[in-house]
Structures are given as C-alpha cells and as structure tokens.
C-alpha cells in the first residue's frame, strides 16, 4: 500500500494567533477494493458551515487499493469543531463519486496535529477502473474489464459502454456484399467485429454421374447459394473422372467385369483373368467370363447343365420346389422330382398306399378303403398285467422283440400273428433290446446285465462283459463285416452317481465303457456307424453324446439354452436329421450341426418316452401320459389316448407301428 507523506498545505491556513501555535489535522484516506481516479478531501467549520477542499490522484493498485494522506490547516477564524469528508471518484473528479465518508474532529491549540482516518470501500472486481454499480459505481458488468462506461461498443450482443444499449450504432442487419459478390447482412463476427455474413463462394466441378469425382479437366465454377445437383464441391474432391456419365467409373473405383475402365487407369477388366479355364460351381469344365448381373466374373460352364432335385427323405424322388443345376450330382439331390412330401420316404410317385392317412403315391387321393378298413390301434396284453414293456426291436420280415420288467422277453417271429412270452430264467429286469436280422436278441437290464437269446430258445444266455455299467436302459446294434457291434446307454438310477455308455462286439469279454458323471443315459439310437447318439441327463440338465469312431470317444453335443430337463428318447434318421424328447414336453431337432428346441408341439408337460421318425414330415411320439402323436409336415395330431403309460415306439413304416406300455400292453397300428 502506497502512502504519501506530509503534504504542503492544501487548505488555506489562517494567521497564527500566538507565535508557535499551529492547529492542524492529519487526514489519512484509505480505499480498498478499487483505485479511485480522484480523491477529494473537504474540511468544514461546524459552526459556520464554511468549507475548504482539495483533490489528489488516487495512489496504489486496482487489485489492492491504497491510501493518501492530507494535512489540513484550517483558517484561524474557524472554530475548533470540524468535519472532515473524503470522496472517491472513479476515473477523475469529473466522474461519479462512488463512495464518501465523514468524520468529526476537535482541534486543540497544541502543535501536535489531530489525526483522522477515513476508510472507503467499493468493488472493482475486473480492475478496469470503474466501480460496480452495486457498490455505487457505473460499471454495469464488473466481471469483464472490457465493459464499462466509455468502452468501445463491440458486436457481441452485450452493452459494452454501459449506456443500456447493446450493439448500438453498428448497423447490424443492413444488407451488404461479401466475398465473391455474395450478398448478406451486417452481423457480429467471431472477434466482436462487424462482418458481412454472406456465404463464401462455393467452388464446384461438374459431376453428372454423382460419383463425387468431377469431370476430368473441368474448370471449377462459383456458387453463392447451394451447389447444384450435377456438381460436386471442389473442396476434398478432384476433377479426375475419366467418364462422367458412369457412376462406377472414377480413379480408385473397384474394377468391374463390364468391359469398362472403371478405375481410370487406361486398362479394361484387368483384374479378372478372363478366358482362363476354371471349374464352375456346377462342377463342369468352365471358362472365366464377365457376369452381367453381378459385374464380377463367373465360371461359365462349357457344357449343358442337368437339373437336380433335393431328396431330403432319401426315397430317390426329389422336391420340385428345391432344385439346382449342375454337371454332376450334388449330395442329397436326385435326377427326378415329383415327390409330393419330401419329408416322408413312404410318399413318392412310385410308393404303395399305406394305411397312414397320407397320399403315399402322390395321386392326389389318400388310401382307398380297401387299403385301410376300419383303421385303429390294437392293444394286446402280452404276459402278466403287472409287467411294463420297454424297448422294441424290429427284425427280419416284420419280426418284433420287446424287453420288460421281471425278466420280460417277448418275440413275434416273421409270419406269426401273436407274441410268444419267453418264460425261462434271465435277469430280473430288462429295459433294452436290439435284434439282428437273424432274430438273435441282445438284451440289457439291471446290474450291468447283458444277455442274448434266439426266438426258439427258452433261457437267455448271459454275456456279462466288463465295462457295461450298472443299469442298461437302451441298446442299438450296428452291423459290420465281422458281426454286429452293440452300443448301450444306462446308469445307476437309485444313486444317480454315474451314467454309462459302452460299445461291445460279441463275443468279447470286455466292453469299451465310458462314465458320464452325475447323469443317467436313458436311450440310444443310430442310423449308421457315424450317427450313434445317446441321450439322458439329470433333473436340471439334458445330455446328448455322440460316438466318434475315430477317437472312440463319446463327444458331448450342446443343447440350446432354456432346455434344462433330462432326455428320455432319441431317434436318428440320418446324418442331417435326428430328434430327442424328454420331460416337460421338451422336443429337440438335430439339423446336422446343432440341437434346437422345436416350438408349437402338443406335448405340454408330458414326458416323451419314445420317438419314431421316418423323415421330417413323418414323426411319431409316445408319452408317459399314454398318448400317441403324429407330425405330418404341417401339424401335430393326437392319434391315440391309452389308459396307461406308454414307453417306446418302433415301426417299419407309417403303416406298421408298434408301441409298448405298462399293464403288459403292446399296441399295433393298424388293425
């Protein structure tokens, strides 16, 4: 803070009454928050009201303020009672007084001057020399040092000179001419200056094909408004289009197979190696040519193509709606169409009519009455009513084997009309059975039981190879040059500690077994040695395993999210089609790559115990609730509602179906 020492008298000094007697006042004026341009100090005789004053320039800084000291020598004629007043002005004494203070002083005859301090305070926050209006000044914006009375008015929408007008005398909004002769109006510029806000001239090249490349060698043209549709901005674009009539022709364009120099490099179709020999997608001898549809090259066959039809049900007749052309026969395609239902191998122009409610011969009519007289499901009690029959195996010419509880074995040999229940000794419980073409049955049951029996024998023959596991619930055999190979599925039902899968080729004494921890495997099926599939699970997890002959491993197959119940049945049609069913109506389909849940099925909460599928449009399923369902390619229907539980289904065709259940029942379609 700057101080001024004793000053020369600023007020007239009266004649001394007594030699050596001097009356004086030492007045200190301090100011904070601002720096006044002028400080006026006034002394007033209280008795007469006579005044004397002087002015001094404010000393100090705008940030810290400052002070001045004034010596007051009152006239001799004044009394001893004075008033001392200090006034601060913003920039000069001609400006507005922003703050003042007054103090009373009593003089004595002593030579020591009286002292008085007058403290002035105001706010000049932006330090522009002008005090905020809120503290008595004239600064209308004390946060910006460019705004104050007398400041230059800027073009910014602000009252810079505090005259209560914004952007006055700037002629804003008047018409003007800008760069390139483009018209506009006067407006505020980015730096507070006044500019003509006319658009900058737009330079553009002709671009008739709208490929963002201007015509080669074209001179840019100026536009004040928008660039017309047939032009492209010269900013960021080139005038290098070698053909401004083709949108796919410009430097850097991908070369197309169209006899045009698309990339403007002086060459035509140079990347396609046309006329070279190739093998087309149709497996014919071919030559590379331009394809007018794709503008790429195509391997054009040099010989006529044949038409092939998809044969999804493998009955040698294809679907007319799904065809392709090729010089060689594609997989799963045949040379003749005409199949009216490519999901049922028993339906094609050469098929015989069956009693199945289908137009088997594609004649447009279902089977005649003579083929299907009074069709119905025939239920026969085979053996005691206390027995439940489980797995079925068909063999030879309409031969049938079934396995059941309490050592249950029943066989219907080809040509016979009824079943023979074999009463000789065997394991206590039997669940799985598979018979070879000669009629020899392989049966599995409790405690790792694996036995064989012929239709004419009385007692079963124990095999008992090691590695089978505890319970055998399902069996399937695959013929080979050295005899059938058996594959089995099972587990320990009481403890659910492990599931079991095995492969066994008689007469070996050991089976190649695999343990499935914490699961039970309930069923197994195969269409050939490469499609051996087993299913099972626990109360929360479905399990599907497929046998890999190369590694001799049972590989897990994933099941779509949301399928969280065990599976009890599986049927494999071929490498590309299989079905699995389980609790809570869960019904899955294998498409050759993944298992997914089939929607819009009729099962509800029923458990699916058995599946027979001849194709994608000929599927049968039996449930624990005693119901038999059929899918014909478009909808499900309920074929039969039995009085008890049903366990398994097998058939040689939709006109010859066998179903097992509890109460000793075996059902057959048709009557």
Residue 191 lies in a domain: yes
Tell me the percentage of the chain whose pLDDT exceeds 70.
95
Does residue 257 share a domain with residue 382? no
368 confidence band (pLDDT: 50, 70, 90): confident
Instruction: Indicate whether 212 pLDDT > 70.
Output: yes
**Domain extent at residue 500:** 378-669
Does residue 664 share a domain with residue 571? yes
Cα–Cα distance measured from residue 146 to residue 126, given in angstroms and rounded to the nearest whole number: 9
Domain boundary residue among 106, 122, 138?
122
331, exposed or middle or buried, with CB in 10 Å at 0-12, 13-18, 19+?
A: exposed
Mean pLDDT of the chain: 90
Instruction: Indicate whether 396 pLDDT > 90.
Output: yes
Q: Are 521 and 545 in contact (CB under 8 A)?
A: yes
pLDDT at 1: 36
Separation of CA 214 from chain center: 41
497 confidence band (pLDDT: 50, 70, 90): low
pLDDT at 241: 93
Does residue 95 share a domain with residue 195? no
Mean pLDDT of 365-391: 90
494 confidence band (pLDDT: 50, 70, 90): low
Instruction: Indicate whether 11 pLDDT > 90.
Output: no
Does residue 542 share a domain with residue 649? yes
The more confident residue out of 109 and 396 is 396
For residue 96, count other CB atoms closer than 10 A to its CB: 14
Residue 292 lies in a domain: no
Residue 63 lies in a domain: yes
Does residue 419 share a domain with residue 526? yes
Mean pLDDT of 575-583: 96
Mean pLDDT of 583-599: 94
pLDDT at 13: 33
pLDDT at 32: 94
Instruction: Indicate whether 471 pLDDT > 50.
Output: yes
Instruction: Indicate whether 7 pLDDT > 60.
Output: no
282 confidence band (pLDDT: 50, 70, 90): confident
Does residue 186 share a domain with residue 85? no
Please state the domain count of the chain. Answer: 3
pLDDT at 539: 82
Does residue 601 share a domain with residue 526? yes
Per-residue pLDDT tens over the stretch 432-449: 999 999 999 999 999 888
Query: Under DSSP, is residue 179 helix (H, G, I), strand (E, B) or coil?
Result: helix
Cα–Cα distance measured from residue 394 to residue 411, given in angstroms and rounded to the nearest whole number: 10
Q: Are 188 and 174 in contact (CB under 8 A)?
A: no
Cα–Cα distance measured from residue 489 to residue 650, given in angstroms and rounded to the nearest whole number: 18
Per-residue pLDDT tens over the stretch 297-327: 888 888 788 999 999 999 999 999 999 988 8
Residue 362 lies in a domain: no
Instruction: Indicate whether 3 pLDDT > 50.
Output: no
Domain boundary residue among 241, 271, 301?
271
Q: Are 258 and 269 in contact (CB under 8 A)?
A: yes
Does residue 189 share a domain with residue 41? no
Instruction: Indicate whether 671 pLDDT > 80.
Output: no
pLDDT at 651: 97
Domain boundary residue among 253, 271, 289?
271
pLDDT at 493: 59
Does residue 518 share a domain with residue 582? yes
Tokens at 417, concatenated: 């009309």
Does residue 236 share a domain with residue 107? no
Residue 38 lies in a domain: yes
The more confident residue out of 473 and 170 is 473
Place of tokens 């007319």: 320
Does residue 496 share a domain with residue 388? yes
Instruction: Indicate whether 492 pLDDT > 70.
Output: yes
8 confidence band (pLDDT: 50, 70, 90): very low
Beta strands in 150-230 (DSSP E): 175-177, 183-188, 194-196, 202-206, 221-223
Beta strands in 275-363 (DSSP E): 277-278, 286-290, 297-301, 306-310, 319-326, 333-334
Tokens at 467, concatenated: 């590695």
Per-residue pLDDT tens over the stretch 522-567: 999 999 999 999 999 988 889 999 999 999 999 999 987 677 789 9
pLDDT at 302: 82
Strands 286-290 and 297-301: antiparallel
Q: What is the CATH number of the domain that holds 393?
A: 2.130.10.10
Place of tokens 């193509």: 305
Mean pLDDT of 237-265: 93
Instruction: Indicate whether 399 pLDDT > 80.
Output: yes
pLDDT at 110: 67
The residues, ordered by sequence, that sit 6+ positions from 399 with a Cβ below 8 Å of its Cβ are: 411, 412, 413, 414, 435, 439, 455
CA distances from residue 305 to 282, 289, 297, 310, 318 in whole angstroms, order as listed: 8, 17, 19, 16, 17
Does residue 522 share a domain with residue 386? yes
Residue 541 lies in a domain: yes
Q: What is the CATH number of the domain that holds 114?
A: 2.60.40
* Length, in residues, of the chain: 671
pLDDT at 518: 86
4 confidence band (pLDDT: 50, 70, 90): very low
Residue 5 lies in a domain: no
Residue 141 lies in a domain: no
Instruction: Indicate whether 19 pLDDT > 80.
Output: no
């Amino acid at each position: 803070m700057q101080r001024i020492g004793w000053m020369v008298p600023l007020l007239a000094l009266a004649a001394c009454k007594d030699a050596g007697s001097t009356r004086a006042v030492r007045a200190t004026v301090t100011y904070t928050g601002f720096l006044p341009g002028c400080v006026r100090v006034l002394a007033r005789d209280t008795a007469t009201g006579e005044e004397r004053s002087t002015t001094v320039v404010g000393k100090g800084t705008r940030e810290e303020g400052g002070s001045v000291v004034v010596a007051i020598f009152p006239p001799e004629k004044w009394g001893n009672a004075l008033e001392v007043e200090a006034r601060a002005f913003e920039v000069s004494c001609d400006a507005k007084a922003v703050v003042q203070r007054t103090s009373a002083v009593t003089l004595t005859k002593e030579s020591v001057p009286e002292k008085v301090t007058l403290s002035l305070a105001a706010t000049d926050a932006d330090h522009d020399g002008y005090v905020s209006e809120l503290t008595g000044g004239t600064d209308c914006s004390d946060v910006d040092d460019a705004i104050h009375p007398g400041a230059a008015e800027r073009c910014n929408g602000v009252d810079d000179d505090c005259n209560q007008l914004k952007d006055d005398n700037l002629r804003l909004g008047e018409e003007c001419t800008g760069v390139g002769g483009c018209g506009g109006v006067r407006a505020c510029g980015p730096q507070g200056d006044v500019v003509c806000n006319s658009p900058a001239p737009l330079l553009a090249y002709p671009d008739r094909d709208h490929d963002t490349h201007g015509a080669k060698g074209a001179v840019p043209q100026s536009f004040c408004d928008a660039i017309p549709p047939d032009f492209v901005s010269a900013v960021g674009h080139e005038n290098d289009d070698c053909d401004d009539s083709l949108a796919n022709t410009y430097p850097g364009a991908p070369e197309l197979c169209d006899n045009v120099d698309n990339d403007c490099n002086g060459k035509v179709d140079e990347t396609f190696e046309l006329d070279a020999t190739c093998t087309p997608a149709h497996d014919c001898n071919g030559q590379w040519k331009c394809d007018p549809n794709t503008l790429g090259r195509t391997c054009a066959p040099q010989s006529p193509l044949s038409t092939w039809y998809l044969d999804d049900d493998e009955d040698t007749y294809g679907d007319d709606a799904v065809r392709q052309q090729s010089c060689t026969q594609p997989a799963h395609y045949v040379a003749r169409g005409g199949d009216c239902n490519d999901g049922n191998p028993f339906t094609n122009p050469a098929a015989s009519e069956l009693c199945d409610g289908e137009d088997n011969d594609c004649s447009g009519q279902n089977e005649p009455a003579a083929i299907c007289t009074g069709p119905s499901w025939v239920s026969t009690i085979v053996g005691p009513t206390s027995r439940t029959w489980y797995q079925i195996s068909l063999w030879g010419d309409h031969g049938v084997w079934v396995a059941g509880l309490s050592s249950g074995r029943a066989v219907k040999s080809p040509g016979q009309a009824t079943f023979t229940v074999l009463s000789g000794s065997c394991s206590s419980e039997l669940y799985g059975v598979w018979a070879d073409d000669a009629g020899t049955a392989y049966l599995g049951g409790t405690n790792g039981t694996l036995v064989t029996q012929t239709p004419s024998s009385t007692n079963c023959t124990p095999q008992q190879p090691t590695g089978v596991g505890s319970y055998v619930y399902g069996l399937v055999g695959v013929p080979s040059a050295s005899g059938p190979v058996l594959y089995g599925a099972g587990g320990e039902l009481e403890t659910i500690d492990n599931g079991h899968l095995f492969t066994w080729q008689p007469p070996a004494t050991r089976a190649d077994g695999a343990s499935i921890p914490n699961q039970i495997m309930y069923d197994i099926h195969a269409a050939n040695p490469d499609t051996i599939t087993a299913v099972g699970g626990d109360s929360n997890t479905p399990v599907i395993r497929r046998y890999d002959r190369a590694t001799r491993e049972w590989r897990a197959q994933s099941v779509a999210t949301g399928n969280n119940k065990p599976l009890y049945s599986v049927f494999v049609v071929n490498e590309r089609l299989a079905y699995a069913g389980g609790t809570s109506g869960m019904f899955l389909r294998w498409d050759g790559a993944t298992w997914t849940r089939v929607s819009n099925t009729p099962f509800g909460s029923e458990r699916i115990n058995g599946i027979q599928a001849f194709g994608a449009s000929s599927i049968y399923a039996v449930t624990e609730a005693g119901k038999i369902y059929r899918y014909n390619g478009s909808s499900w229907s309920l074929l039969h509602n039995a009085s008890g539980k049903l366990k398994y289904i097998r058939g040689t065709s939709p006109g010859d179906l066998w179903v097992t259940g509890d109460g000793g029942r075996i059902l057959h379609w048709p009557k």
